[in-house]
């Protein structure tokens, strides 16, 4: 496909007419000459979107995304399950447990696509203007955008929403993004300009400005809403779905807004195809699976390999009423790991962290528990070209050498191969070789096993590691891990707690845990400033993305390099150097991931033949076949 080049306009040319009356005086001529010289150096790009690197793939006159069916019918319902419970429809507050899909009501000025990680296209804007250095951006907003109550969206709503997130957004976002915006100003009711702070890496800033969630200023103020508080009343947005009904902690139904302003927008053609999206909540995965078999909900993205291998031969599958498929995914591995709370004294020594990591036996777990269906995670950017491999490249060395020279990193980082996850025996849960290595590391670190086998330091404190989570499906693998840690002399446990308690203990400001299985932030295939919310020192004690409390001046410098990269090659080099350093510090215990999507659904849904690499899209660009649905209902396969 031909790449779409944005229009390029000389600022001097587009403004020339405005200065015509000033030519009557010599002073005005001199002023005009000076202004023209300044403007001539600035090239303004006018476009229907922006790409991190290179040109946009889609032209300004594209009619629909390449991976959707533009003729997909509208109608029907799709339903899925969610674990635990919910008590809020505010996903932007630390308080409360946000409902599944609770951001479905909202849109932003720009929208990405599922086949191009670089691109952001105008959704709420007609065009955007920015200089070549991206130091500012103007969004020319669409005049037909409406909130779900029918009121128009204007630049005042955009300014209000931006200021709201700067004042009351999640702390990690404010701490990282707050200083990057020098000025935001409404130029007219449908034009708004963001000017970015000099010295800020500008590469991602127009897209970041265009990615802010837009709320209705009028509705927020008149109803005395608070972004920092949980609430069962959503804010007013412009999105394609509104809330139809909910049963607290049990069920949510979203319905498609019949008066949605963006129905025919090229980004939406072939999307938002279901009239209703229903979410059913269950306390655990076993109950959810039984409900799926009974037709209580209709689409399931399976995560458990044992279940996928052994439990999808039930009668509805054999009769063809339920379809099972393995669909490819091009996403980075989910970064699943056990993270330490680095605020805890016992985890300060990297030898302790390495020793504890040695006791996780992936090979045995994969063979005995996972039916060989999982793959090992080595890198935070596993399953992508961003992962560090082998010894550092010359480009990585150029970034790492100054940090070594300043004493921020050991010299070995320049010559050692990237740290890989330990390999264990698949025939027994406890690998004796790794046990000996781990024991030696703990002995060196001053954690010595006593007569009772428990490791203590010089002051008599035990080496304690309580892991907490709310999902029971992790019990088999985590219990095996605990047994290995006990054999090492670690006072280890894996405790199941309810989801609200987990959120309270693992989130700011409490951080009341030793370790937790979770996903670590990798920032996607083109990471930028979002990484600072997870790994920067400034987010050490205020970020739900930096639960481990990570802070390191060398990593802060590398994060700056990632954000400042101006080419894809520079970005990849900086991320690989960052990945190399993080892995060398053993700050997490990498677990495993599944390369594909394992899906099961009642045979009334259809999809495009070729799916995009970065989204399954079942709730958006799949669609409902009414005839097939009626046939299932007629034979009693569905409730």
pLDDT in tens, 46-58: 999 999 998 999 9
**Antiparallel, parallel or unpaired: β 299-302 and 588-590:** unpaired
Check residue 199 and give left, alpha or beta (phi > 0: left; psi -120 to 50: alpha): left
Tokens matching residue 485: 């840690």
- Note the helical H segments in 18-154: 26-40
Q: What is the dihedral of CA 336, 110, 135, 198, to 10 degrees?
A: -50
Residues 144-179: tens digit of each pLDDT: 999 999 999 999 999 999 999 999 988 878 877 878
pLDDT of residue 10: 39
Asked if the peptide bond before residue 515 counts as cis, ω within 30 degrees of 0, the response is no
Phi, psi values for residue 248, rounded to 5°: -50, 125
Give the Cα separation of 639 and 636 in Å (integer): 7
CA distance 249 to 557: 43
pLDDT, residue 4, reads 58
SS3 300: strand
Residues of the chain under the 50 pLDDT cut: 1-2, 10-40
Three-state DSSP at 574 gives helix
Mean pLDDT (the chain) is: 91
Tally of residues, the chain: 639
pTM above 0.85, yes or no: yes
Residues 228 and 95 sit within 8 Å (Cβ to Cβ): yes
Which pLDDT score is estimated for 177?
81
Contact call for residues 532 and 176 (beta carbons, < 8 A): yes
Among 534, 550, 587, 504, which residue's Cα sits nearest to residue 338?
Answer: 587
| pLDDT on residue 3 | 54
Q: Nearest 5 degrees, angle CA 581-CA 583-CA 588?
A: 130
The DSSP secondary structure of 552-567, one letter per residue, reads: -HHHHHHHHHHHH--S
Quick check: 155 and 125 in contact, CB under 8 A?
no
User: Using CB atoms within 10 A of its CB, is residue 219 exposed (0-12), middle (13-18) or buried (19+)?
Assistant: middle
Q: What is the pLDDT at residue 529? A: 85
Contact predicate 255/275, CB 8 Å: yes
517 Cβ contact list (under 8 Å, min separation 6)? 336, 337, 338, 339, 467, 469, 474, 478, 591
Round to whole Å and give the CA distance between 591 and 568. Answer: 28
Q: How far apart are CA 127 and CA 344, in angstroms?
A: 50
Q: Cβ neighbours of residue 441 under 8 Å, at least 6 residues apart?
A: 351, 352, 354, 355, 358
Other Cβ atoms less than 10 A from the Cβ of 125: the count is 25
Domains of the chain (ranges plus CATH)?
7-71+106-222 (3.40.190.10), 336-593 (3.10.105.10)
Q: How far is CA 423 from the centre of its chain?
A: 29
Task: Give the tens place of pLDDT for each residue, 270-310.
Answer: 999 999 999 999 988 899 999 999 999 999 999 999 999 99
User: What whole-number distance in Å separates Cα of residue 274 and Cα of residue 77?
Assistant: 6
Residue 575 Cα distances to 177, 439, 531, angstroms: 20, 33, 10
pLDDT at 623 (0 to 100)? 98
Mapped onto helix, strand or coil, the DSSP state of residue 22 is helix
Distance CA 221, CA 163 (A): 13
Q: Tell me, what's the pLDDT at 20?
A: 37
């Amino acid at each position: 496909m031909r790449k779409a080049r944005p229009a390029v306009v000389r600022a001097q040319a587009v403004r020339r007419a405005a200065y015509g009356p000033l030519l009557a005086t010599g002073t005005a001529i001199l002023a005009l000459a000076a202004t023209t010289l300044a403007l001539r150096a600035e090239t303004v790009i006018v476009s229907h979107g922006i790409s991190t690197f290179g040109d946009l793939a889609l032209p300004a006159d594209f009619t629909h995304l390449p991976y959707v069916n533009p003729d997909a019918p509208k109608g029907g319902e799709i339903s899925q399950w969610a674990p635990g419970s919910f008590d809020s429809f505010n996903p932007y507050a630390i308080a409360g447990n946000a409902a599944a899909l609770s951001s479905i009501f909202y849109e932003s000025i720009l929208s990405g696509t599922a086949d191009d990680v670089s691109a952001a296209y105008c959704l709420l804007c007609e065009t955007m203007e920015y200089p070549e250095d991206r130091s500012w951006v103007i969004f020319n907003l669409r005049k037909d955008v409406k909130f779900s109550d029918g009121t128009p969206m204007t630049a005042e709503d955009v300014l209000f929403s931006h200021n709201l997130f700067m004042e009351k957004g999640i702390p990690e976002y404010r701490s990282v993004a707050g200083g990057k915006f020098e000025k935001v100003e409404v130029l007219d009711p449908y034009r708004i300009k963001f000017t970015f702070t000099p010295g800020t890496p500008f590469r991602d800033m127009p897209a970041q400005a265009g990615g802010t969630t837009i709320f209705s200023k009028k509705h927020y103020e008149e109803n005395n809403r608070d972004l920092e508080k949980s609430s069962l009343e959503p804010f007013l947005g412009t999105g394609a779905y509104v809330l139809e009904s909910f049963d607290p902690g049990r069920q949510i139904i979203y319905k498609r807004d019949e008066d949605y302003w963006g129905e025919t927008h090229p980004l939406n053609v072939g999307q938002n195809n279901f009239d209703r999206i229903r979410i059913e909540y269950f306390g655990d995965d076993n109950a959810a699976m039984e409900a799926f078999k009974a037709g209580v909900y209709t689409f399931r993205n399976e995560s458990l390999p044992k279940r996928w291998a052994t439990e999808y031969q039930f009668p509805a599958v054999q009769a063809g009423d339920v379809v099972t498929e393995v669909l490819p995914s091009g996403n980075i591995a989910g970064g699943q790991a056990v993270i330490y709370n680095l605020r805890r004294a016992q985890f300060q020594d990297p030898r302790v962290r390495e020793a504890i990591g040695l006791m996780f036996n992936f090979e045995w777990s994969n063979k005995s528990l996972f039916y060989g269906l999982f793959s090992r995670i080595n890198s935070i950017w596993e399953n992508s070209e961003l992962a560090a491999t082998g010894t550092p490249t010359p480009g990585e060395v150029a970034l790492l050498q100054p940090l070594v020279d300043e004493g921020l990193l050991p010299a070995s980082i320049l010559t050692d191969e990237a740290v890989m996850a330990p390999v264990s025996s698949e025939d027994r849960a406890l690998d004796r070789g790794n046990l000996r290595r781990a024991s030696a590391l703990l002995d060196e670190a001053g954690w010595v096993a006593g007569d009772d086998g428990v490791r203590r330091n010089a002051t008599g404190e035990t080496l304690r590691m309580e892991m907490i989570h709310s999902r029971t499906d992790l019990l088999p693998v985590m219990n095996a891990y605990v047994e290995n840690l006990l054999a090492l002399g670690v006072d280890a446990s894996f405790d199941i707690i309810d989801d609200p308690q987990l959120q309270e203990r693992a989130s700011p400001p409490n951080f009341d845990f030793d370790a937790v299985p979770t996903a670590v932030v990798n920032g996607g295939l083109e990471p930028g400033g979002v990484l600072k919310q997870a790994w920067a020192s400034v987010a050490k004690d205020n970020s739900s993305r930096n639960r481990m409390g990570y802070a390191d001046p060398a990593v802060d410098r590398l994060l700056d390099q990632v954000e400042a990269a101006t080419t894809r090659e520079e970005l990849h080099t900086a991320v690989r150097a960052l990945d190399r350093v993080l892995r060398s510090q053993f700050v997490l215990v990498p677990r495993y991931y599944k390369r594909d999507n394992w899906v099961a659904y009642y045979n009334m849904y259809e999809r495009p033949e070729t799916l995009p690499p970065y989204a399954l899209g079942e709730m958006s660009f799949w669609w409902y076949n009414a005839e097939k649905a009626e046939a299932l209902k007629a034979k009693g396969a569905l409730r």
